[in-house]
Chain A
Amino acid sequence: MSTTAPEAPTALPPVQRRNAELVLIGVTVVITMGAMMISGLNLNGQVPGAMWGYGLIFGAMALATHVALRFIAPYADPLILPCALFLNGIGVAMIWRLDAADSGDIEHAGVGMQLIWTAVGMVMCIALLFFLKEPRVLQRYTYISALAALVLIALPMVPGLGISEFGARRWIGFGGFTVQPSEFAKIALVVFLSSYLVTKRQVLSLAARQVKIGRFKILDLPRARDFMPMVVGWVAAIGLLVITKDLGTSLLLFGTFLAMLYVATQRSSWVIIGVTLFLAAAAVAFRLFWHFRQRVDIWFYAYDPDVYDRLGGSAQLVQGQIGMAYGGIFGTGMGGGQAHHIFAADSDFILASLAEDLGLTGVMAILLVVFILVERGMRIALASRELFIKMLASGLAFVMCFQVFVVLGGLTRIIPLTGMTTPFLAAGGSALMASWLMIGLLLRMSDNARRPAPQAIQDEGATQVIRR
């Protein structure tokens, strides 16, 4: 697949639909305020003041972003911003509700920090849209973004700077202020992989040998010399895993690496090789490190009382699942459950809290919105012409999808539980800012993809110089 046929122009038609976006944003703001109102009614039988205070601030911020979009990226996909705002708003309402239930003082419960970070994130998103008119320039910064990703991943490992919590070093701290650099690392990684793989894709697609069983081709083996990027990526992932013990980030970054490698080369053999290598390394880690054995124990034997009572055992996971079980199909209603008893209810386990209050139905709805966001990202990738943009859009979309999978898969015991934030929903500045940056990139790319081609100007002479 070295040639790219021009896309059918219908993939993303050049219509603005800003008004539709405005209506949807109105709906998200109403949902957010409604969630706060119901929480308040359930918690102490009154409509909380926070609904107006926080709700209207959130609404104003959403509106401002929307207006900015009309000027800066008028052709941007009209679904992306409402989806992001919906998730962010539900997160804000949930964090407020948890705090209100915890403190027992409804009128003084705060999500101030989360709203401030939301505002910062939105400003970053708009600034990115304003200054980055042409995302292709990012392609020039192949190795800078590689370095940035590496530094960001490595920062928590620096002694004295890194902070270890819950058995994983995910934070760096300075002056009472903590940041999760890995949240930004994933964006830098996607940018780097997009630009690097676009240039290397021809080479990496070459097949040296075919592995066959009988007449059937199982996989194409690449040339030995082309294994270097894979080996580097794998070593980096395993190094990260062993040193920071942060299985979640390691899994997320390596999964993204494999997905993008597949998009670039269209060779499933790379994915098979990568998954095999990762599983092999995980098996070795399982033998060597007590920490991983513990994780697997929690995964398999969560409901064993011994594992439950163990220090760092399955208690948190089981409590999260108990919350989900109380939620059942329809949930206890916002503020009606006991979600504030769940460990890390507003950050790593926010999906369990939502599952309790909103039930299976509510979490399904939230998952569908995330899914719409992911699929819109994929559509942008399909509609764009440049390979770099295709890679970037699909990479960002997949990161979002896979991150939700790692979090919720851990909570529901599809995979071992790992500490990880949920995009837009979880409390935390780093995660919010990173999520909004990703939204900014997607908006910019969709704006560029959908903008109608400029009309050729007539009666200006035969030739004209077009300057970039």
Chain B
Amino acid sequence: MNTPIRRLSVFSMILFGALMLQLTWIQGFQAEAIRDDQLNRRQYTERLTEQRGPIVIGEDNVAFSTDISEGDDPTRFQREYAGGAMYTPIVGAFRSFGASGIESTENSLLDGSDDRLAVRNFRDVITGREPEGARVELTIVPAVQEAGFNAFQEQGFKGAAVAIEPSTGAVLGSVSYPSYDANDVVSITDGEQANANYVELENDPDQPLLNRALRERYAPGSTFKIVTAAAAIEHLDAGPDSTMDAPDTLQFASGPALPNATPGGTCNGGAPDTLANSIKISCNTSFANWAIEMGGEALAEQSEAFGFTPVEEDTSDLNIPLNVIPSRSPVEADDSILGRAGIGQSNVESTPLQMAMVAAGVANSGEVMHPYLVDSVRDSDRSVVTQTSPEVYSQATSASTAATLTDMMVLVTGPGGSGTNAAIDGVDVAGKTGTAETGGGLGTHNWFIGFAPADDPQIAVAVVIEHGGGSGGSLAAPIARQMMEAVVL
């Protein structure tokens, strides 16, 4: 009987060995990943006693920690926010039970626990200084952000706006409206009230907690015609003067007919229309025909070149560092659906950021740069810990295609175009309006994407008004203009 007993001993040894290996894996190799996991609520609760680093926009700290302890109390820091509701969707809120936005994604740097700060912290321990978290400096330009946010506030519609620097991908502005003031939900002295406020926000039907710029999809409507036009140029060798049938109403073998939304419901009096004019006045029927002509594969491929996520991938790997949900432009076979996809309807859905990337890609000679929000991270001595360097995200079109598209998009803000409200005195503005049907008896989404100056793009924007019920030219273009003016004037 000794043989099986010996084997059982060895088996026991194997069990213990497995436990030790797994423990080593968790406590040794995975420890940091687990500590940084968003489910780790401790990283938010136990950091009250430490000097958390600030989040900086422009030259101002928009999130910072203040020592609120009195007398002999143990030190406690209260997180405070500047800028009211304007920056909250980006910066986030550092609450006792969780965090959002940059506060969450850059938490390990802000609280000083990141390995990249280890040397610095060690030095602090030696020299007896209080260790401090790192400064996270964002790419947001206050003037752009204010222009967008104030315009939304005046209008009162829900929606979002994103502005990108085309040559680098730096996010210059990211507005989501309505928003909320982070100070309402982060108090550590009156935690109950803070929590009650948060629950109220969670239950608000206007969804102020939702960052519409990155985490909401809308039908892009006619702004998507830029993608369709790019595909037509790339796949069908079209040019600005190439014509395409543009009946006043397009009939399909199945499904409802497609009308035009242009003034008078016509593009070129029913005659075939040039690509340039179709963009200028935003003609539906010609673009539906372009999409049908090139086929669903070509359209989907061009969308993915701009950054749309293929349908088979259920999450997007785009982190800026806030996670961006995937935008969709599936391959369509049926003509009536494909035709509507060509004008940004049916199954095409996009985040405002994705349409800003389309505009920025055209502006940057066809190269879409990887969007990013964190410009640099510095330690408490202001020496650089990390500095973001621009990266190419994708090559959407050739440089010549981008130049052709730019020339046509300038017509949109010119005389007789659909987006004259985005025109800026003395500067050529390239743009495209969009008005997307939403169904369900709610108003249309109103879009504008564009960039300026057309010959030397400094800023690309995408603006969407949720259920504005008007047109892209009337509601979204003015907001886009104000944001662009903040940079180019």
Give the size range of A's interface with the partner: 35 or more
Determine whether the beta carbon of B12 is less than 8 Å from that of A375.
yes
Among the 9-residue stretches A94-102, A219-227, A390-398, the one with 4 or more Cβ atoms under 8 Å from chain B is: A390-398
Determine whether the beta carbon of A405 is less than 8 Å from that of B15.
yes
Q: Which residue on B lies nearest to A370, using beta carbons? A: B16
A324 CB-CB contact with B under 8 Å = yes
Determine whether the beta carbon of B31 is less than 8 Å from that of A390.
no
What A residues does B23 contact at CB under 8 A?
324, 355, 360, 363-364, 367, 408, 412
What B residues does A370 contact at CB under 8 A?
16
Determine whether the beta carbon of B39 is less than 8 Å from that of A364.
no
Interface string of A252-268 (1 = CB under 8 A from B): 00000001001111100
What A residues does B4 contact at CB under 8 A?
1, 262-266
Determine whether the beta carbon of A324 is less than 8 Å from that of B1.
no
A24 CB-CB contact with B under 8 Å = no
User: Shortest Cβ distance from B189 into chain A, in angstroms?
Assistant: 19
**Contacts A355-B23, A414-B19 given; does A326 touch B12 at CB 8 Å:** no
Determine whether the beta carbon of B28 is less than 8 Å from that of A329.
yes
Residues of B22-51 contacting chain A, CB below 8 A: 22-28, 30-32, 34-35, 37-40, 42, 46
Determine whether the beta carbon of A402 is less than 8 Å from that of B1.
no
In the complex, A391 Cα to B31 Cα: how many Å? 41
What B residues does A266 contact at CB under 8 A?
1, 3-4
Residues of A277-332 contacting chain B, CB below 8 A: 303, 305, 308, 318, 321-322, 324-329
Residue of A4, A363, A397, A412 near B12 (CB, 8 A) is: A397
User: Shortest Cβ distance from B111 into chain A, in angstroms?
Assistant: 13
Determine whether the beta carbon of A414 is less than 8 Å from that of B42.
no
Q: Which residue on B lies nearest to A315, using beta carbons? A: B39
Number of CB contacts from chain A to chain B under 8 A = 131
Q: Which residue on B lies nearest to A401, using beta carbons? A: B12
**Contacts A303-B37, A378-B8, A412-B22 given; does A4 touch B1 at CB 8 Å:** yes
Determine whether the beta carbon of B35 is less than 8 Å from that of A326.
yes
B9 CB-CB contact with A under 8 Å = yes
What A residues does B20 contact at CB under 8 A?
364, 367
B383 CB-CB contact with A under 8 Å = no
**Contacts A321-B34, A325-B34, A409-B19 given; does A371 touch B13 at CB 8 Å:** yes
Determine whether the beta carbon of A401 is less than 8 Å from that of B16.
yes
In the complex, A355 Cα to B5 Cα: how many Å? 31
In the complex, A325 Cα to B23 Cα: how many Å? 10
A341 CB-CB contact with B under 8 Å = yes
Q: Which residue on A lies nearest to B24, using beta carbons? A: A360
**Contacts A321-B34, A382-B5 given; does A341 touch B22 at CB 8 Å:** no
A85 CB-CB contact with B under 8 Å = no
What B residues does A405 contact at CB under 8 A?
15-16, 18-19
A374 CB-CB contact with B under 8 Å = yes
User: Shortest Cβ distance from B317 into chain A, in angstroms?
Assistant: 17
Determine whether the beta carbon of A390 is less than 8 Å from that of B27.
no
What B residues does A89 contact at CB under 8 A?
none
What A residues does B27 contact at CB under 8 A?
324-325, 327-329, 355, 359-360, 363
Q: Which of B3, B5, B22 has the most CB of A within 10 A?
A: B5
**Contacts A259-B8, A412-B26 given; does A367 touch B19 at CB 8 Å:** yes
A381 CB-CB contact with B under 8 Å = yes
A387 CB-CB contact with B under 8 Å = yes
Determine whether the beta carbon of A401 is less than 8 Å from that of B40.
no
Interface string of A329-344 (1 = CB under 8 A from B): 1000000001001000
Determine whether the beta carbon of A382 is less than 8 Å from that of B39.
no
B6 CB-CB contact with A under 8 Å = yes
**Contacts A308-B39, A402-B15, A412-B22 given; does A390 touch B1 at CB 8 Å:** yes
In the complex, A1 Cα to B42 Cα: how many Å? 57
Determine whether the beta carbon of B26 is less than 8 Å from that of A324.
yes
**Contacts A324-B26, A397-B12, A401-B12 given; does A303 touch B19 at CB 8 Å:** no
In the complex, A143 Cα to B15 Cα: how many Å? 31
B127 CB-CB contact with A under 8 Å = no
Determine whether the beta carbon of B19 is less than 8 Å from that of A322.
no
User: Shortest Cβ distance from B412 into chain A, in angstroms?
Assistant: 42
Interface string of B464-480 (1 = CB under 8 A from A): 00000000000000000
What A residues does B37 contact at CB under 8 A?
303, 318, 322
User: Shortest Cβ distance from B323 into chain A, in angstroms?
Assistant: 12
Q: Which of B2, B25, B28, B32 has the most CB of A within 10 A?
A: B2
Determine whether the beta carbon of A408 is less than 8 Å from that of B6.
no
Determine whether the beta carbon of A1 is less than 8 Å from that of B3.
yes
What B residues does A326 contact at CB under 8 A?
31, 35, 42
Determine whether the beta carbon of A375 is less than 8 Å from that of B9.
yes
User: Shortest Cβ distance from B389 into chain A, in angstroms?
Assistant: 31
In the complex, A305 Cα to B22 Cα: how many Å? 23
Residue of B5, B9, B25, B35 near A322 (CB, 8 A) is: B35
Residue of A321, A381, A409 near B5 (CB, 8 A) is: A381
Interface string of B204-224 (1 = CB under 8 A from A): 000000000000000000000
What B residues does A327 contact at CB under 8 A?
27, 31
Determine whether the beta carbon of A409 is less than 8 Å from that of B18.
yes
Q: Which residue on B lies nearest to A309, using beta carbons? A: B39
Residue of B2, B12, B13, B26 near A382 (CB, 8 A) is: B2
**Contacts A371-B13, A412-B22 given; does A322 touch B42 at CB 8 Å:** yes
User: Shortest Cβ distance from B202 into chain A, in angstroms?
Assistant: 13
Determine whether the beta carbon of B26 is less than 8 Å from that of A387.
no
What B residues does A305 contact at CB under 8 A?
38-39
User: Shortest Cβ distance from B327 into chain A, in angstroms?
Assistant: 22
Residues of A374-431 contacting chain B, CB below 8 A: 374-375, 378, 381-382, 387, 390-391, 394, 397-398, 401-402, 404-405, 408-409, 412-414
In the complex, A398 Cα to B19 Cα: how many Å? 15
Known: A401-B12, A404-B19, A412-B22. 9 other contacts (CB 8 A): A322-B39, A322-B40, A324-B27, A325-B32, A397-B12, A408-B19, A409-B18, A412-B23, A413-B22
Return the 7 tightest CB-CB contacts between A and B, nearest first. A325-B34, A360-B27, A325-B31, A412-B22, A378-B9, A401-B12, A405-B15
Residue numbers of A with Cβ under 8 A of B are 1, 4, 7, 259, 262-266, 303, 305, 308, 318, 321-322, 324-329, 338, 341, 355, 359-360, 363-364, 367, 370-371, 374-375, 378, 381-382, 387, 390-391, 394, 397-398, 401-402, 404-405, 408-409, 412-414
Residue numbers of B with Cβ under 8 A of A are 1-9, 11-13, 15-16, 18-20, 22-28, 30-32, 34-35, 37-40, 42, 46
User: Would you list 30 pairs from A and B whose C-beta atoms are within 8 A, ordered by A residue?
Assistant: A1-B1, A7-B2, A259-B11, A262-B4, A262-B8, A263-B4, A266-B1, A303-B39, A305-B38, A321-B26, A324-B34, A325-B27, A325-B34, A326-B31, A326-B42, A329-B28, A338-B46, A341-B42, A359-B27, A364-B23, A367-B19, A370-B16, A374-B9, A382-B2, A387-B1, A398-B12, A405-B19, A408-B23, A412-B19, A414-B19
